[in-house]
Structures are given as C-alpha cells and as structure tokens.
A and B are shown apart, each in its own frame.
Chain A
C-alpha cells in the first residue's frame, strides 16, 4: 500500500489521525496532515482505507 496526501486540500480535520494514528499526524500550527509512513504494513490497511474514506477534504489517496 502506498499513500499520497494533498496538503493543499487538507483542512486539518484530524479524522485521519483518529482513524489511523500510527500513519497520520497533524502539524502543530495549522493542523495540516503529516504522513508518518507512506507505505505502512498491511495490518494497518483497514485503518488507512477508513482514514481516506472519512477525510472530509478528499486529501488522502491510497494505492494498492
């Protein structure tokens, strides 16, 4: 699995961090997403897909 994020679209809602805290974090100042790992292990697949589905700004794309 490979994750792409679009910082320009991100609205700092933090839903991704709630869904997959081992993969996503937020910058302190503006809350924009930080990708902690762009190819996480497969046991996190479900969480990452959930994060991408829930993102209200469609800022997360998942390949594979």
Chain B
C-alpha cells in the first residue's frame, strides 16, 4: 500500500515506535508527528521510580537521541494537541486550528490520570503521569513529610516505596483488602502489603477517601469514608487512568474504554491505534487494552505494519514489571485476581516464580518476585499452553 502522508497523533513510546517502523518498512512519504506535550518523546516507567527517587536526571528519560529523531525526517508538531478527527475529509484538526491531511493515521494518545472529583489540584495534591507531574511530586517528597497515596495499584505502590525510601511518613489507602489484589490476587497482594509494612508504610485497606482538607489553599489532609481524618502534606491520587479519546468524539470511530480496533489494530480503513489508548482483539486473549510499556513498543510496530498493508494479527505475550524497594515483580500473560501458585520458592518469603492456570491446568499467567531468569523459562510454558507442576 502506498501512503502519501501519515499522521501520528501521540508521540510517546507507541507513536514514536510506529513512526520508526513506518520509515524502516519503507514509508517514503510525509510523516507528521503531533503531540500536545512540547517535550521530545520521553519514557514513562522511570517517572515513578528512578526520576521520582532523584536517581536520574530528566535527560535520561529521552526515548531517543536527537540524531535518531532527526533521522525520521518527520514534520514535528509538538505542543499542539489534536482536537478533532474528520474521517470523511481525512484530516486531523489541531488545537491551533490547523488541519493536517492524512491518508494513514496512527492514534497513540495514551491515557491520562484519573482524578478524584473533590481533589481540586491545590498545592500538595498530585497525580503522576507526565514528567512535570513527577518533578512536582519529587520536590515535595522530603524526609518527614506526611505522604498519603490513594490507590494501591502499581503506580501507587511504586510511588509509596520511593517516598518511604526517601524518609517520608507514608500512608496508602485503597478500597480493596490488599495492595495489587485486583492485579495479582490475594497471596501476592499479601506479600506486597508485608513488604510495605516492613518499610514503615501504613496501609489502610478496605477504606475509601471521601474528601480532602485544605488550609490556606493547600492540601493538608484527607477524610476517610468512616469520617477519620489523616494528615497529608502530600497527596498522590493513583487510581488508574483513562484513555485520551475526547478528540475522537463524533469522528465515527468506536470508542469504548479506548479506541476499538480489530485484531490488526485497525480502527477504520487507514486508521490504526497503538499503546495505552488502543483496545484491540487479541486472537487468543480476546479484547484487551494494555497500559504496559512493552505493549507500547510491540503494538506501535504492529499498527504501523498494518497501515502499510502487512496485516498480521497482533498476538503478543503481555509483559510488565514493577520495582518496589529491592523487589522486582515481573508478570507475563493476563493475570486475574485469582491466587497464584508457586512453582519455585515460596509466595510467603524470599524470591519466587508462580503461575495462574485455567481449569485444564494450562498456564495463563506467570509472576516472579526477584526471579527473572526462571520467569523467562516459565514464559515458554505460557506460550506453549503447557501445564506445569506447582
């Protein structure tokens, strides 16, 4: 398929990878890269880890050296978000009114942090999605600060770990009984809870946040659903993210928890989506939308190839990891809230590798706790749909 002009909207890991793949696979026409963020593309996993801890300077987040960005021979429209897609006229309208024509479009606008309606954004209240968010939070994570994290998912627990390591007094609040319970089940959730308690973090699980307290325009505390109040010099709301699809409303694309795509990551003829914003039909796992760093790369490649007519169903083995204190949790597959069973080591202490399986004993997800090599071997069992003995 010959394309004269491809527009990529959202130039983070997925969009940038799609752009590179287009060039590598022979797209010689125009390439326009649009993003509301004025910065050159940067990597996000370190935002809640190395950058937040102060171990890395901001420049280490660059997704590519500037020479590689220049080599793309693209027209960059950074700092101007897209605000409308006209599928019939085949153009994207930008916030400054410019209309950018395309005959191939990559949608990679990612997600934005979900917020609590009663948290105003006054000083002291944070979300964590962009480099600005991370730098603003980092400035306030000082030893002795009372830090309240709402949400015990991956982002919340990673940030809590960093804050505890810095010497803050950290409280994590979540409506479920255990951290990461929804993601990794109760047994690993229990292990994560212990890890945080061992580092002095207070976990308030099974509790909700009903309100925030402000004084002189600054966040000073939160009110729990039972009326209890907790002091907070710093409040981080880490309750998940939502796909950035506002600009696609009324375009005719199907939007339902992201941009709905087929198994080739195609949303409409000549329109593909990749990364956190894309919901696609995985041939083996069904409809998925993954907010994983690995998926951004893989789906960026797949979506670009679809646009060029190299249609292969996108069927990755999902992978993600989380770093907390001296623990690296790694997961392959599509874990559920069911319990994992250990294959090596013990879920109760020390490193372990563990699996979830279906009713027939076939592995559906593998999780490791400081066991990277063993996990890679177990990944093969997952790929081969093999039973393993626990």
A-to-B contact residues, CB < 8 Å: 9, 11-15, 17-18, 26, 28, 30-31, 53-54, 56-58
Contacts and interface: CB of A to CB of B under 8 A. Distances in A.
Interface string B310-340: 0000000001010100001010000000000
A31 B319 contact: no
B158 interface: no
Nearest to B63: A58
B375 interface: yes
B139 interface: no
B294 A13 contact: yes
Contacts of B319: 13, 15, 56
8 contacts: A9-B60, A11-B328, A12-B328, A13-B319, A13-B321, A18-B376, A53-B297, A56-B45
Contacts of B43: 58
B376 A54 contact: no
B373 A28 contact: yes
Interface in B336-390: 370, 372-373, 375-376, 379
A53 B330 contact: no
A5 B328 CA distance: 20
A16 B293 CA distance: 15
Interface of B: 17, 43, 45, 60, 63, 293-294, 297-298, 301, 319, 321, 323, 328, 330, 370, 372-373, 375-376, 379
Contacts of A18: 376, 379
A30 B369 CA distance: 10
A12 B321 CA distance: 9
Contacts of A17: 376
A12 B370 CA distance: 10
Contacts of B323: 11
Given A11-B328, A30-B328, A58-B63, 15 more contacts: A12-B328, A12-B330, A13-B319, A13-B372, A14-B373, A15-B319, A18-B376, A18-B379, A26-B372, A30-B370, A31-B373, A53-B17, A53-B297, A54-B294, A56-B319
Given A11-B321, A53-B297, A26 B373 contact: yes
Contacts of A14: 372-373, 375-376, 379
A31 B328 contact: yes
Contacts of B63: 58
A6 B120 CA distance: 41
B301 A53 contact: yes
B382 to A, nearest CB: 12
A4 B239 CA distance: 38
A10 to B, nearest CB: 10
Closest 7 CB pairs of A and B: A31-B372, A14-B376, A12-B372, A56-B294, A56-B293, A26-B373, A26-B372
A58 B43 CA distance: 9
A26 B45 contact: no
Contacts of B328: 11-12, 30-31
A8 to B, nearest CB: 8
B272 to A, nearest CB: 18
Contacts of A15: 294, 319
A30 to B, nearest CB: 7
B15 to A, nearest CB: 15
B366 to A, nearest CB: 12
Nearest to B61: A58
Contacts of A53: 17, 297, 301
Contacts of B294: 13, 15, 54, 56
Nearest to A31: B372
A17 B319 CA distance: 14
Contacts of A58: 43, 63
Contacts of B376: 14, 17-18, 26
B86 to A, nearest CB: 33
A56 to B, nearest CB: 5
A13 to B, nearest CB: 6
A56 B323 CA distance: 14
